Amino acid sequence: MTSLDKRTTSLDLDRNGDLSEATQAYFDKCLEKLGLVPNVLLAYAFDEKKLRAFTEMYNELMLGDSGLSKLEREMIAVVVSSLNRCYYCLAAHGAAVRQLSGDPMLGEIMVMNYRAAALSPRHRAMLEFAERLTETPGKIDEPDRAALRQAGFSDRDIWDIAATAAFYNMSNRVASAVDMRPNDEYHAMAR
Amino acid sequence: MTSLDKRTTSLDLDRNGDLSEATQAYFDKCLEKLGLVPNVLLAYAFDEKKLRAFTEMYNELMLGDSGLSKLEREMIAVVVSSLNRCYYCLAAHGAAVRQLSGDPMLGEIMVMNYRAAALSPRHRAMLEFAERLTETPGKIDEPDRAALRQAGFSDRDIWDIAATAAFYNMSNRVASAVDMRPNDEYHAMAR
Amino acid sequence: MTSLDKRTTSLDLDRNGDLSEATQAYFDKCLEKLGLVPNVLLAYAFDEKKLRAFTEMYNELMLGDSGLSKLEREMIAVVVSSLNRCYYCLAAHGAAVRQLSGDPMLGEIMVMNYRAAALSPRHRAMLEFAERLTETPGKIDEPDRAALRQAGFSDRDIWDIAATAAFYNMSNRVASAVDMRPNDEYHAMAR
Amino acid sequence: MTSLDKRTTSLDLDRNGDLSEATQAYFDKCLEKLGLVPNVLLAYAFDEKKLRAFTEMYNELMLGDSGLSKLEREMIAVVVSSLNRCYYCLAAHGAAVRQLSGDPMLGEIMVMNYRAAALSPRHRAMLEFAERLTETPGKIDEPDRAALRQAGFSDRDIWDIAATAAFYNMSNRVASAVDMRPNDEYHAMAR
Amino acid sequence: MTSLDKRTTSLDLDRNGDLSEATQAYFDKCLEKLGLVPNVLLAYAFDEKKLRAFTEMYNELMLGDSGLSKLEREMIAVVVSSLNRCYYCLAAHGAAVRQLSGDPMLGEIMVMNYRAAALSPRHRAMLEFAERLTETPGKIDEPDRAALRQAGFSDRDIWDIAATAAFYNMSNRVASAVDMRPNDEYHAMAR
Amino acid sequence: MTSLDKRTTSLDLDRNGDLSEATQAYFDKCLEKLGLVPNVLLAYAFDEKKLRAFTEMYNELMLGDSGLSKLEREMIAVVVSSLNRCYYCLAAHGAAVRQLSGDPMLGEIMVMNYRAAALSPRHRAMLEFAERLTETPGKIDEPDRAALRQAGFSDRDIWDIAATAAFYNMSNRVASAVDMRPNDEYHAMAR
């Protein structure tokens, strides 16, 4: 059983009562499938409405149908988190890239500097867009979208690249603002 | 009846079939209450799962229970969007600040430079945190949280300030990436 | 009659004696033509020599002969002021763009992010130069001038674009440094 | 007699007819007093209205009555020009600091990095304000003005510090935009 | 025997003849002690004078007498390399922090964002100085040195902190400029 | 005889005993050849091992065999030091450019803004690479190296450009961190 006594941020957030059955079931499923309940879920659990809104957007974005593979979405997650220096997201999603790619070094390079990786033109264009959207969102313009189309992405793919990069610009900031701590297990995974 | 033929971004996103009844009802309610269906909803409507995830998070964050007033949340939205130079969000949420405050100039100042406003220490601390979280998320640290507590915010309020500022760091980037166009009506509202 | 008791900056600047007849006449003309005496003039009026130097440069630049239309010069004013986040100049010159263009939304977009506007190649080149001159003046170089010539500007036009963008880099800083307050009337003008 | 054939910028600016007598007299006076006609004046001379507006503001600011000494105003000019990397202004005003101070090294340090100089608290505060106003004008706020008052400056002095720093933020940009070339003589002066 | 055919940068650098006996012996010692010859040494080996100058400075700095422990010097190396996003140095020195500290997570946090670590005031002051020296070297001033003395560092320690942070600002740039590739072995070490 | 009592930084660094004969001889040679012992050497002399490591790397880099002329290496030194605003290095290496080129103005322009110089395409490419490597080392990539090859540089030259620019990114930071003071003589040299 998951204990909510575990403190995963430096904020002191009271919870009223126990987890709902649905949430408890969701956490149990995480434990079964991933071997852990990601601390981000415990952090949001002080308010189940917030938790549900977060997980629905997360699941739709990272696990739903898309022209981007799950690995590609995780690569975007790590590159954005590297630019924003988000410890939580780098630990958790760096592990995901190592796992999904079966290539531990790829996960490391995404954390450190994606430019050092031997990337396909598709991946290069995708990550350059994510970088630019993260660093200077107000300067994104038609040529940036054109570069993605040039690399073979459809307009629907462009939405997904944008939405994924944007989502981690949100998550990185929540995590940094509340000092969210990643599960220790991430560090040793898939090395 | 809301036409989805209206193009609200520069992406070409195909929709399969008509809006679901639930979505149509939601749009009708917007029209009734706000006098318009915000273009952001039409932009997301190419995929109702994405639309639903977005609106649930939005509604929980901007309209749900919080120690922050709705106006305070809109002030954060505008200040973050000003730093990121997001045309869509400045137009839409600038109007919201004007409307909720009954003070057209306050909406303008939030768009232009919040430092020029005569703010209470509470609002000043809140917006400085939002600014810093937007500009240098990787440098947010305990003294930043301490400054919010000093200004009277609870840890739960800190979560809400962080989550709101973070949300617009996401929305600004989606809007800029897809060239989202605000409804013309926003410009003249509550002047 | 214009009262100099009206405080338009947060500095405490003593004036010796009354306004000269010439200055009083100039202010009366402003009132008649614009419906107000711009607060920037009242701010400078503590020293009529400074006021005169400012108004002469201003009038030559913004109202004198030029290959740039008055609206184009105001567009530059607003874009530079947006980059420097100058509340005074955004309020005053945002109103001027709305008025001169008869297009309230154009004024808003210049304040928020000029990239979101549907601009002619000429205006796009002009504003990109103003932006670059504002942000990284030490990196301006021959290719930047060439881009303006390419867009149809003469060398004399280039001088005027440069001088206008440079002037607001001055005015924005004076206004921010002394906390200059725009006339309330600007906000509702030409909406 | 001053030749206007001398090209002082990379722009090709036609002049109509000869210099007016007044301008010719002014240039002669420069030659007599300074040993040269500053190239900035030749650059502006393609349009005598622009030249006059520039020289009036310049003379009022740099030579007029002020609580700041002429050397202090030149120190601000050089520090601002160093931050903006303006070759023209660094050459011309670096020479002025060397000359007015009788301390060649002081001129060099202002060009290179004012923090390396052994400055009085007054000069330190003055230059820190000029630096901050140059780099982040939108973040200038009451504590910045308070620091100047703390260092002994009156509100009128604050105006002059602001106006001087702001003026070079204009001049630096005009000079860089038009590729203005300083007179060769500056380099060897007062070494 | 170490093969120089192994390409460790993307530059094509000819070597004249075999390694000297001294260099070969040094490489053999690396192999024996570390289990590998660091690729940086192979990269420099195209010119043994450059190699020797590099290794002498490196060894004096990282292994010589100092008031800083070897782990502290490696922590500085990683934090500087993280700010400069140097893949080579993050891979190699991240491994060193894991190894010397016996704490794999500490190595990860130094790579990702040192602010997320639970650091002693001494380490915090040391890394903040290294960060500031890396990001804005021209703004380092007496208060920065005072903060180190306050945290218990001697002036000689300050030299060593400065020299170490400065050295990685050099090494990071050489590595990035020549596309230096770290040994694969680093990634799995001390996890 | 060189006195070590001369304080060349603001750190208080004890020396144990006299200079070794070798170091004394080296200083005597400097005095004979340059007319002074550069203060950087006196600064390092508190520890002769550090001094030796520094001078060996320096001499190899700045005086050793290279496809770059000594003047070209000094131009890189000054441009990097200008970007980092390092007073010591600008004073010392600005003098070196003036001396080696016999062109006092070239030295000044390198200090102030290299873009204002009339440079050959070779020198332009070399200095743009040095600038980019200094400002955004993590973004250096294959196109940056390609631009150097395009300008006629061999891969070995690229190494030397990179190593020189990188070295001054180190030296600038040591000098700024310890407040190193240049010899007064530099300012008047080769004017």
Predicted confidence (pLDDT) per residue in F126-183, tens digit: 999 999 999 999 999 999 999 999 999 999 999 999 999 999 999 999 999 999 999 9
Distance from CA of E22 to the nearest CA of B (A): 45
Q: Which residues of C touch D144 (CB under 8 A)?
A: 177
Q: Examine the pLDDT at D2 and tell me if it is beyond 70.
A: no
Scanning every residue of chain C, which has its alpha carbon at the shortest distance from the alpha carbon of A142? C115
User: F179 and E142 in contact by Cβ < 8 A?
Assistant: yes
pLDDT value for C5: 62
Distance from CA of B162 to the nearest CA of A (A): 6
Scanning every residue of chain E, which has its alpha carbon at the shortest distance from the alpha carbon of D112? E138
Distance from CA of A145 to the nearest CA of F (A): 21
Q: Contact D64/D150 with Cβ under 8 angstroms?
A: no
Percent of chain F with pLDDT over 90: 93
From CA F137, how far away is CA C122, in angstroms rounded? 35
From CA D133, how far away is CA C13, in angstroms rounded? 20
Question: Which of residues 7 through 66 in chain C touch F, CB cutoff 8 A?
Answer: none
Question: Which of residues 133 through 152 in chain F touch D, CB cutoff 8 A?
Answer: none
Comparing C-alpha atoms, which of E29, E95, E94, E93 is closest to residue E61?
Answer: E93
| Joined tokens for residue B146 | 């301490």
pLDDT per residue over C82-120, tens digit each? 999 999 999 999 999 999 999 999 999 999 999 999 999
Nearest to F113 among D87, D113, D191 (CB): D87
Comparing C-alpha atoms, which of D127, D126, D154, D133 is closest to residue D67?
Answer: D154
In the block, which residue shows the tokens 């105001």?
C74
- Is it the case that chain B and chain F have 3 or more CB pairs lying under 8 Å apart? no
Q: Which residues of E touch F64 (CB under 8 A)?
A: 49
pLDDT value for A96: 98
C90 touches chain B (CB under 8 A): yes
pLDDT value for A15: 74
From CA A177, how far away is CA A169, in angstroms rounded? 12
User: B113 and C188 in contact by Cβ < 8 A?
Assistant: no
Work out how many CB contacts closer than 8 A connect E with F. 142
* Long-range contacts, A12-19 (Cβ 8 Å, 24+): A12/B155, A13/A46, A13/B155, A13/B156, A13/B159, A14/A46, A14/B156, A15/A45, A15/A46, A19/A45, A19/A48
Q: Examine the pLDDT at D104 and tell me if it is beyond 90.
A: yes
Q: Which residues of D touch B115 (CB under 8 A)?
A: 138-139, 141
Which residue stretches of chain E have pLDDT < 50? Answer: 1
Q: Examine the pLDDT at F2 and tell me if it is beyond 70.
A: no
Q: Examine the pLDDT at C75 and tell me if it is beyond 50.
A: yes
Q: Contact D144/C188 with Cβ under 8 angstroms?
A: no
Scanning every residue of chain A, which has its alpha carbon at the shortest distance from the alpha carbon of B133? A173
Distance from CA of B90 to the nearest CA of C (A): 7
pLDDT value for F1: 44
pLDDT value for A179: 97
Q: Which residues of E touch A85 (CB under 8 A)?
A: 82, 112-113
E184 touches chain A (CB under 8 A): yes
pLDDT value for B135: 98
In which band, very low, low, confident or very high, does the pLDDT at C145 lie, cut at 50, 70 and 90? very high
Distance from CA of C167 to the nearest CA of A (A): 24
pLDDT per residue over D21-69, tens digit each? 999 999 999 999 999 999 999 999 999 999 999 999 999 999 999 999 9
Distance from CA of D151 to the nearest CA of B (A): 24
Nearest to D159 among C85, C159, C178 (CB): C178
F70 touches chain C (CB under 8 A): no
User: E187 and A191 in contact by Cβ < 8 A?
Assistant: yes
From CA E182, how far away is CA E92, in angstroms rounded? 7
Mean pLDDT of chain B: 95
C-alpha D56: how far from its chain's center? Answer: 13
Comparing C-alpha atoms, which of E49, E135, E30 is closest to residue E92?
Answer: E30
Q: Contact E85/E93 with Cβ under 8 angstroms?
A: no
Q: Examine the pLDDT at F76 and tell me if it is beyond 50.
A: yes
Distance from CA of E11 to the nearest CA of F (A): 6
User: F141 and A113 in contact by Cβ < 8 A?
Assistant: no
pLDDT value for B177: 98
Q: Which residues of B touch A158 (CB under 8 A)?
A: 11, 177-178
Q: Examine the pLDDT at C16 and tell me if it is beyond 90.
A: no
Mean pLDDT of chain D: 95
From CA C17, how far away is CA D62, in angstroms rounded? 24
Q: Which residues of C touch A138 (CB under 8 A)?
A: 113, 115
Mean pLDDT of B90-117: 98
Q: Which residues of B touch A84 (CB under 8 A)?
A: 137-138
The contacts of residue F115 (CB under 8 Å, 6+ apart) are C138, C139, C141, D85
E105 touches chain F (CB under 8 A): no
From CA B34, how far away is CA D6, in angstroms rounded? 65
D177 touches chain F (CB under 8 A): no
Distance from CA of A113 to the nearest CA of F (A): 7
Probe site for chain E from A87, A97, A114, A184 (most E CB atoms < 10 A):
A87
Q: Examine the pLDDT at F39 and tell me if it is beyond 60.
A: yes
Comparing C-alpha atoms, which of B95, B89, B110, B81 is closest to residue B180?
Answer: B89
pLDDT per residue over E19-41, tens digit each? 999 999 999 999 999 999 999 99
* More confident position, A52 or D15: A52
In which band, very low, low, confident or very high, does the pLDDT at C153 lie, cut at 50, 70 and 90? very high
Comparing C-alpha atoms, which of B47, B55, B65 is closest to residue B29?
Answer: B55
Distance from CA of C2 to the nearest CA of D (A): 22
Q: Which residues of D touch E141 (CB under 8 A)?
A: 115
Q: Examine the pLDDT at B6 and tell me if it is beyond 90.
A: no
User: D113 and E141 in contact by Cβ < 8 A?
Assistant: no
Distance from CA of E167 to the nearest CA of D (A): 22
pLDDT per residue over D122-175, tens digit each? 999 999 999 999 999 999 999 999 999 999 999 999 999 999 999 999 999 999
In which band, very low, low, confident or very high, does the pLDDT at F18 lie, cut at 50, 70 and 90? confident
The contacts of residue E178 (CB under 8 Å, 6+ apart) are E9, E10, E11, E43, F158, F159, F162
User: F156 and E13 in contact by Cβ < 8 A?
Assistant: yes
Mean pLDDT of C170-178: 98
From CA E176, how far away is CA E168, in angstroms rounded? 12
Which residue stretches of chain A have pLDDT < 70? Answer: 1-5, 16
Nearest to F60 among E49, E172, E179 (CB): E49
Strand ranges (DSSP E) for C71-173? none
- Is it the case that chain A and chain E have 3 or more CB pairs lying under 8 Å apart? yes
pLDDT value for B15: 74
Count of residues in chain E: 191
| Joined tokens for residue D84 | 């903006």
Angle at E120 between CA E114 and CA E121, to 5 degrees: 95
Nearest to F87 among D85, D109, D187 (CB): D109
Percent of chain B with pLDDT over 70: 97
Neighbours of chain E (3+ CB pairs under 8 A): A, B, D, F
Question: Which spans in A20-154 are helix H?
Answer: 21-34, 39-44, 48-63, 70-83, 87-101, 104-112, 121-135, 142-150
